[in-house]
Chains A and B, each alone.
Chain A
Amino acid sequence: MIQVSNVSQVFEGKRGASVEALRNINFRVREGEFAAVIGRSGCGKSTLLRLMAGLMPATDGQVTIAGTTVTKPLPEVGMMFQRPALLPWRTVLDNVLLPVELFGWSRAKHRQHAHELLEMVGLLDFTKKLPHELSGGMQQRVALCRALIARPKVLLMDEPFSALDALTRAELAVELQRIHMELSATIVFVTHSVQEAVLLADRVAVLTARPGKIREIVHVDIPRPRSFGLNAHIDEVATTSAQLHDLLLANETSDELALESLDFDDQPTEPKWRRHSFAPPPSLDYPATAGARVEKRLR
């Protein structure tokens, strides 16, 4: 469905200083898959999403979505940003119908669909309200409906819940999972939250920082629906979370240092960052995929 091939991005700064944001990114997202891109802030994960959305051209490489090479924003791709970006003078319903108007489609034909989407996120009673009358979580729900109104094949989400409080975040993440299962859309979800990635994604691409490269692609084989609370798969959730934590934290230091720290995991001289991680010692059984990757990296 989505094919990212050899994508690199270099930003030309002022006075000749250039910043390499992404280096040689390759990955593929299958139809109906929920892919997460996780990385520390400033690692270029939002840049990657903007390239996929066609909001800016890649310095090198290319992105194809459903066989079309992305050079400009495609109508079959829905986009959701960190902030709701609702038009404050439009009612909830009119905000949801905005893409319909911009594409020159008939509002009347899509009004029913807009109502269905708003019902799906529990905002049917708020169709005539203005955005400032809604809470942040509700506003982001409206933005989700707006992204879905054109029935996109692909949904690109740029840390959509990062500006919300923890409870609303968790609530919306659970809701997004439900919506993904209902609509079976292909979703690429950029986040810096391990928790969100483990809850939502089928596969997680972990980016290194400056320049952003893909460090690992981690499969999350936990059956759906998943939840944040107690569940039957708590061990898998813990191990996958720990693995992602380790991969992310390793970005802080150089690769060699990270390996060293893992080697001396059981020594009293363990580095500070390791002490707070939830990873079980390497001798315990990992699930097949996760364990294989960590071992490969250790060698």
Chain B
Amino acid sequence: MSTVQDRVRAPAASHRKAGPPSRVRRGRSRLSSIALPTLSIAIVIGVWWLSTIVFHIRTFFLPAPPDVVKSFLELPDYLLQQAWVTLSESLMGFGIAAVGGMIIAVALSASSIVQRATLPLLVAVNSIPKLALAPLLLLWLGFGQFPRVVMVVLISFFPIVVAGMAGLTSTPSDLNELARSLSANKWQHFIKFRFPWAIPQIFVGLKVAVSLAVVGAVVAEFQGAGQGLGFVIVMSGSSADTPLAFAAISLLAVMSISLFYLVVAVERRLLPWATETTG
């Protein structure tokens, strides 16, 4: 009798989950997730443009949006080339930070002795202003991309370590109990329970780190790099070419936004269960 009840109830339940109402709601939320940010960006640009006109702000002080666009169109190849330099440094550093940060997080969460010995050290390293390290990195590692990638790693690994540790130590007790009742060994417990459980939190760290990675690359490029968008900003400052600086900054903004939403997209793709259960 109960199986009959199940059969009757089952389709009703699935209908409730995947039926038209939720699809409409999801479509509406997807629309608003694109339309709303676009709107807010448009408003900010509008206010910026309007204030340059209303207050007669001179171009070298605060260029209007068309000046920035014009400046970009004068040197599109050069700017995109420099953007690529910055992007590649950011991605390389971010990749190293992601892998290294996860390894550190695993090591720290595996043993309380390791954690007690090294966590204060990590916090100390993280608290050093990275800008202060830039000249030293140049001195130790020479010119070229390498010191800049190191800077990106230094600035972006910490959030990944913290998020990874938080995720790996937050496995719910009922899942740990289940693992023990099934005689799972340490490796199985890690690979089948703790790590998958930690992934959503690791992504929180990755989202913070990917924005910091771009910051790291630009900070490193300030120090006589000779290339990259950071270098373009410094150079345009010294020649009072403010529209060029704004063009470079705009490219950085686009880069950061794209990278951030790339991580979000990967998360959605890999973790349908996490986005459904945590909203």
Interface residues, chain A, CB within 8 Å of chain B? 53, 55, 72-73, 75, 79, 81-83, 85, 87-89, 98-99, 101-103, 121-123, 125-126, 130-135, 138, 171, 174-175, 178
Measured CB to CB, the nearest residue on chain B to A178 is B2
Contact of A99 among B175, B177, B182, B193 (CB under 8 A): B182
- The minimal Cβ–Cβ distance linking A128 to chain B, given in whole angstroms, is 11
What sequence of 0s and 1s flags, for each residue 1-35 of chain B, a beta carbon within 8 Å of any chain A beta carbon?
Answer: 01101110010011001000000000000000000
12 other A-B residue contacts (CB within 8 Å) besides A81-B174, A123-B6: A55-B181, A82-B174, A85-B177, A88-B273, A88-B277, A89-B273, A101-B192, A103-B182, A122-B5, A130-B272, A130-B273, A132-B276
Chain A residues lying within 8 Å of B174, measured Cβ to Cβ, are: 81-83, 85
Among B5, B177, B178, the one with the most A-chain Cβ atoms within 10 Å of its Cβ is B178
Chain B residues lying within 8 Å of A88, measured Cβ to Cβ, are: 273-274, 277
- Assembled-state Cα–Cα distance A133/B179 (Å): 23
- Assembled-state Cα–Cα distance A235/B184 (Å): 47
Q: Contacts A122-B2, A171-B2: A72 and B276 contacting too (C-beta < 8 A)?
A: no
**Do residues A122 and B3 form an inter-chain contact, with CB atoms below 8 A?**
yes
Quick one: which of B248-279 are within 8 Å of A by CB?
Answer: 271-274, 276-277
What sequence of 0s and 1s flags, for each residue 166-183 of chain B, a beta carbon within 8 Å of any chain A beta carbon?
Answer: 000000101101111111
Q: List 20 A-B contacts (CB under 8 A).
A: A55-B180, A75-B183, A79-B178, A79-B181, A85-B172, A85-B174, A85-B175, A87-B175, A87-B193, A89-B274, A99-B182, A102-B182, A102-B184, A122-B7, A122-B10, A125-B14, A130-B272, A132-B276, A138-B13, A178-B2
Measured CB to CB, the nearest residue on chain A to B17 is A133
Chain A residues lying within 8 Å of B196, measured Cβ to Cβ, are: 87, 89
- Assembled-state Cα–Cα distance A135/B10 (Å): 10
Q: Give the size of the chain B interface in residues (CB under 8 angstroms).
A: 31
Measured CB to CB, the nearest residue on chain B to A74 is B183
- Assembled-state Cα–Cα distance A132/B275 (Å): 11
- Assembled-state Cα–Cα distance A174/B3 (Å): 11
Q: In this assembly, does B59 line the interface, its C-beta being within 8 Å of a C-beta of chain A?
A: no
Contact of A102 among B2, B13, B183, B274 (CB under 8 A): B183
Measured CB to CB, the nearest residue on chain B to A143 is B178
**Do residues A102 and B188 form an inter-chain contact, with CB atoms below 8 A?**
yes
Contact of A72 among B5, B175, B179, B183 (CB under 8 A): B183
Q: What are the 4 closest A-B residue pairs judged by CB atoms, nearest first? A: A122-B6, A85-B174, A79-B181, A85-B178
- Assembled-state Cα–Cα distance A79/B175 (Å): 12
- Assembled-state Cα–Cα distance A134/B277 (Å): 12
Number of A-B contacts (CB under 8 A): 76
- The minimal Cβ–Cβ distance linking B151 to chain A, given in whole angstroms, is 35
- The minimal Cβ–Cβ distance linking B265 to chain A, given in whole angstroms, is 18
- The minimal Cβ–Cβ distance linking A65 to chain B, given in whole angstroms, is 13
**Do residues A89 and B271 form an inter-chain contact, with CB atoms below 8 A?**
yes
Measured CB to CB, the nearest residue on chain B to A122 is B6
- Assembled-state Cα–Cα distance A259/B240 (Å): 97
- Assembled-state Cα–Cα distance A99/B3 (Å): 25
Q: Contacts A83-B174, A102-B188: A135 and B181 contacting too (C-beta < 8 A)?
A: no
Contact of B180 among A73, A82, A87, A89 (CB under 8 A): A73
**Do residues B10 and A174 form an inter-chain contact, with CB atoms below 8 A?**
no
Chain B residues lying within 8 Å of A130, measured Cβ to Cβ, are: 272-273, 276
**Do residues B178 and A126 form an inter-chain contact, with CB atoms below 8 A?**
no
Among B2, B6, B179, B183, the one with the most A-chain Cβ atoms within 10 Å of its Cβ is B6
- The minimal Cβ–Cβ distance linking B172 to chain A, given in whole angstroms, is 8
Measured CB to CB, the nearest residue on chain A to B4 is A122
- The minimal Cβ–Cβ distance linking B27 to chain A, given in whole angstroms, is 19
Q: Contacts A125-B10, A132-B276: A102 and B192 contacting too (C-beta < 8 A)?
A: yes
- Assembled-state Cα–Cα distance A107/B121 (Å): 45
- The minimal Cβ–Cβ distance linking B99 to chain A, given in whole angstroms, is 21
- The minimal Cβ–Cβ distance linking B278 to chain A, given in whole angstroms, is 10
Chain B residues lying within 8 Å of A123, measured Cβ to Cβ, are: 6, 10
- Assembled-state Cα–Cα distance A55/B174 (Å): 12
Among B13, B17, B181, B183, the one with the most A-chain Cβ atoms within 10 Å of its Cβ is B181
- The minimal Cβ–Cβ distance linking A50 to chain B, given in whole angstroms, is 9
Chain A residues lying within 8 Å of B188, measured Cβ to Cβ, are: 102
- The minimal Cβ–Cβ distance linking A270 to chain B, given in whole angstroms, is 40
Quick one: which of B84-118 are within 8 Å of A by CB?
Answer: none
- Assembled-state Cα–Cα distance A79/B276 (Å): 28
Contact of B2 among A53, A87, A125, A174 (CB under 8 A): A174
- The minimal Cβ–Cβ distance linking B219 to chain A, given in whole angstroms, is 37
Chain A residues lying within 8 Å of B180, measured Cβ to Cβ, are: 55, 73
Among A55, A102, A103, A126, the one with the most B-chain Cβ atoms within 10 Å of its Cβ is A102
Chain A residues lying within 8 Å of B7, measured Cβ to Cβ, are: 122
- Assembled-state Cα–Cα distance A177/B10 (Å): 21
Chain B residues lying within 8 Å of A83, measured Cβ to Cβ, are: 174
